[in-house]
Amino acid sequence: PLADLPEVESDSLLQLITLCAADPRPEKIDVGVGVFRDGAGNTPILKVIKRAEEILRETQETKAYLGMQGDKRYAELLRPILLGPLADDARIAGLQTPGGCGALRLGFELLALAIPSARVHVGTPTWPNHPPIIRAVGLEVAEYPYYERGQGSIRFDAMVDALSAANAGDVALLHGCCHNPTGADLDEDQWREVARIVAKRGLIPFVDIAYQGFGRGLDEDAFGVRLMLETCDEVVIAQSCDKNFSVYRDRVGSLFVKTGSESATALAMKHVSMRAREMWSMPPDHGAACVRIILDDAALKADWLVELTAMRDRINAVRQRLAAADPRLAFIGRQWGMFSMLPLSREQVLKLREDHAIYMADSGRFNVVGLSDDQIDRFTAAVVEALNG
Ligand code: LMR
């Protein structure tokens, strides 16, 4: 009976939202879940999204179903942004999903269907929701070393060794840019080396790219994705617009799949469409319709790029401020995207929560732009105190 269900631990990242909200201390600092905030500590709706919503309200004539693949024009318009010069490659096809999380689930559903014996190699650490999604489709999770917390650097040799020992048909899960939770991205030479190994071993790269434009720039952040597509016949990509369009709760993502032939890709799309039908029938329309309106209009697209650049500039400015505060935080200035991971124990993280009302993930991951401008000094002082231990 339902009454006999076992206890379940709620998602640690999403739980932080509730914990922080319940803290009555006015000076509390929320650097938990990955949401962009401006210097004043707000997550405003982008002006260009507001404009697109007005256009949508004025022009939308029906809310009749669109179909399992959602808004096809939306997925079409993402191609140049994500795929760049490969946008016209007919062996690559995509469809709309409910956020990056929906794209991950759908991509792994497809892999489980095609290669049920595949092991999925994930870096340690990775986004805590990756392993549960992989296990939910019945695939096995294997780990490769990725990041050395104390050093603030990538364990590249160990990563290469682990991937070199993977079996043909296994999957390598890679973060396209702005690594979550560490902020430590592969450089271009490292991407080339990983692509070489993945191709040589016959692995399928699965690239999760949820923060395109939050690191160095839209094209720069897509370097790894495009390199994998150039190097490998079979690639799966989970993409998200939730962050770079700041539409988090509207759940705007897409899944792109490349196979060796146009017909095999078309068949894969039929399978993922049927999987989508079983899970959510079709993705929610509103956010993707707004993104479509923006990308379909040169002026609105230019406005979006201005707002995206402002978000990226703030992320990188906060990084530089944190890095300058203490030599032990210098690594933060060499990393990308919203997250970095502090070399703090779980006990130290909990003590920061208790003593300073600072809410970060138990792993020591924190959202650099969770900090408003006037919280940065207090945050660094508390962190340095914790590091002095
Ligand atoms: C995060 O890692 O904080 C974000 O991706 C939000 C989430 O769903 O966990």
- pLDDT, one tens digit per residue, over 316-329 is 999 999 999 999 99
Q: Is the pLDDT of residue 109 over 90?
A: yes
Task: Tell me the average pLDDT of the chain.
Answer: 97
- Ligand 1: residue of 129, 133, 212 to mutate (most ligand atoms within 8 A of CB) is 129
pLDDT confidence tier of residue 10, bands split at 50, 70 and 90: confident
In the chain, where does the domain assigned CATH 3.90.1150.10 lie?
Answer: 2-45+312-388
CA of 210 to the centre of ligand 1 (A): 10
* pLDDT in the model for residue 382: 97
Query: Across residues 21-46, what is the average pLDDT?
Result: 96
Q: Which residue pairs, CB below 8 angstroms and at least 24 apart, start in 38-42?
A: 38/314, 38/372, 39/314, 39/372, 39/373, 40/372, 40/373, 41/372, 41/375
- Please, are residues 240 and 35 in contact by the beta-carbon 8 Å criterion? no
CA of 298 to the centre of ligand 1 (A): 30
Closest ligand 1 atom to Cα of 181: 2
Give the H or E element holding residue 142: strand 140-145
C-alpha–C-alpha distance, residues 155 and 182, integer Å:
12
**Going by CA atoms, what residue is nearest to atom 5 of ligand 1?**
34
Q: Is the pLDDT of residue 189 over 90?
A: yes
C-alpha–C-alpha distance, residues 333 and 90, integer Å:
39
Closest ligand 1 atom to Cα of 11: 9
User: Could you say which of 127, 191, 304, 336 is catalytic?
Assistant: 127
Is the CB of residue 338 below 6 angstroms from any atom belonging to ligand 1? no
Give the H or E element holding residue 236: strand 235-240
Q: Is the pLDDT of residue 9 over 90?
A: no
CA of 267 to the centre of ligand 1 (A): 31
Active site residue 280: no
C-alpha–C-alpha distance, residues 192 and 195, integer Å:
5
Q: Is the pLDDT of residue 157 over 90?
A: yes
ipTM: 0.92
Q: Is the pLDDT of residue 11 over 90?
A: no
Closest ligand 1 atom to Cα of 13: 9
Q: Which residue pairs, CB below 8 angstroms and at least 24 apart, start in 155-163?
A: 156/186, 156/190, 156/193, 159/123, 159/194, 160/193, 160/194, 160/197, 162/121, 163/121, 163/194, 163/197, 163/198, 163/201, 163/203
Q: Is the pLDDT of residue 112 over 90?
A: yes
Contacts (Cβ under 8 Å, ≥6 apart) of 327: none
User: Could you say which of 172, 243, 258, 304 is catalytic?
Assistant: 243
* pLDDT in the model for residue 289: 98
pLDDT confidence tier of residue 262, bands split at 50, 70 and 90: very high
pLDDT confidence tier of residue 341, bands split at 50, 70 and 90: very high
Q: How far apart are the first and last CA of the chain?
A: 49
Phi, psi of 296 (to 5 degrees): -85, 0
pLDDT confidence tier of residue 188, bands split at 50, 70 and 90: very high
Number of H helices, E strands in the chain: 14, 13
CA of 238 to the centre of ligand 1 (A): 14
38, 39, 41: which is closest to 28 by C-alpha?
A: 41
Q: Is the pLDDT of residue 12 over 90?
A: no
User: Could you say which of 184, 210, 357, 386 is catalytic?
Assistant: 210
pLDDT confidence tier of residue 384, bands split at 50, 70 and 90: very high
Is the CB of residue 70 below 6 angstroms from any atom belonging to ligand 1? no
User: Between vectors from CA 322 to CA 317 and to CA 328, what angle results, nearest 5°?
Assistant: 140
Query: Across residues 27-39, what is the average pLDDT?
Result: 96
C-alpha–C-alpha distance, residues 296 and 241, integer Å:
15
CA of 369 to the centre of ligand 1 (A): 14
Q: Is the pLDDT of residue 389 over 90?
A: no
Query: Across residues 76-84, what is the average pLDDT?
Result: 98
Helices of type H across 12-46: 12-22
Active site residue 72: no
Is the CB of residue 108 below 6 angstroms from any atom belonging to ligand 1? no
Q: Are strands 235-240 and 204-209 parallel, antiparallel or unpaired?
A: parallel
* Residue 208 CB-density burial (10 A; 0-12 exposed, 13-18 middle, 19+ buried): buried
* pLDDT in the model for residue 150: 82
Q: Are strands 147-148 and 365-367 parallel, antiparallel or unpaired?
A: unpaired
253 bridge partner residues: 97, 240
Neighbours of 77 (CB within 10 A): 18
**Going by CA atoms, what residue is nearest to atom 2 of ligand 1?**
34
Q: Does the domain formed by 53-295 have CATH 3.30.1330.20?
A: no
In the chain, where does the domain assigned CATH 3.40.640.10 lie?
Answer: 53-295
* pLDDT in the model for residue 231: 97
* pLDDT in the model for residue 39: 97
C-alpha–C-alpha distance, residues 75 and 95, integer Å:
6
Closest ligand 1 atom to Cα of 34: 3
C-alpha–C-alpha distance, residues 6 and 388, integer Å:
41
C-alpha–C-alpha distance, residues 252 and 273, integer Å:
16
- Please, are residues 9 and 313 in contact by the beta-carbon 8 Å criterion? no
Q: Is the pLDDT of residue 361 over 90?
A: yes
Q: Is the pLDDT of residue 151 over 90?
A: no
Alpha-carbon Rg for the chain, nearest whole angstrom, is 21
CA of 13 to the centre of ligand 1 (A): 7
Q: Return the CATH fold of 2-45+312-388.
A: Aspartate Aminotransferase, domain 1 (3.90.1150)
328, 25, 34: which is closest to 180 by C-alpha?
A: 34
User: Between vectors from CA 105 to CA 103 and to CA 109, what angle results, nearest 5°?
Assistant: 115
Query: Across residues 292-313, what is the average pLDDT?
Result: 98
Q: The tokens of 383 are what? A: 């962190």
Say whether the peptide bond before residue 98 is cis (omega within 30 degrees of 0).
Answer: no
pLDDT confidence tier of residue 238, bands split at 50, 70 and 90: very high
